[in-house]
């Protein structure tokens, strides 16, 4: 049987709020712990989330058959943060998210992370809580 394998999506997330600057490092660490738990809950057991450093995270979404499939998976993330975090002391938490897709946007992890990172910065420049998909040098609105 010759089955076509689905692709993967890489999401690059950056908190829109300067948590440590606003709440201090001890409270910021508590927020990041709660963010990590909610993020893992949003993506489930199949996909993988990792903190890259500071307030940046990467998510690997497997079994992506199209950009629409990846977008649906990505929409679960903001929904997980609709309720306030206890540790954030009332500070809203949202992400700017960039997304790249394999094989359309690269073949290596480095290429995909770079594309997703650049799309995330495009989202951040455009406003808070936005998602952008890599599109030949610019993030495309999602």
- Known catalytic residues are 55
Q: Are 104 and 24 contacting, i.e. CB atoms less than 8 angstroms apart?
A: no
CA angle at 94 for the pair 93 and 98, rounded to the nearest 5°: 150
* Phi/psi at 15 (5° precision): -60, 135
d(Cα 132, Cα 136) in Å, to the nearest integer?
12
């Amino acid at each position: 049987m010759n089955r076509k394998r689905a692709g993967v999506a890489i999401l690059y997330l950056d908190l829109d709020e300067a948590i440590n600057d606003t709440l201090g490092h001890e409270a910021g660490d508590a927020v990041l712990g709660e963010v990590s738990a909610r993020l893992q809950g949003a993506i489930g057991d199949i996909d993988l989330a990792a903190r890259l450093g500071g307030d940046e995270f990467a998510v690997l979404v497997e079994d992506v058959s199209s950009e629409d499939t990846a977008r649906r998976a990505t929409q679960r993330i903001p929904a997980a943060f609709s309720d306030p975090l206890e540790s954030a002391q009332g500070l809203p938490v949202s992400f700017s998210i960039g997304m790249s897709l394999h094989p359309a946007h690269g073949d290596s992890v480095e290429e995909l992370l770079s594309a997703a990172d650049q799309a995330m910065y495009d989202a951040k420049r455009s406003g808070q809580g936005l998602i952008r998909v890599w599109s030949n040098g610019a993030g495309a609105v999602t």
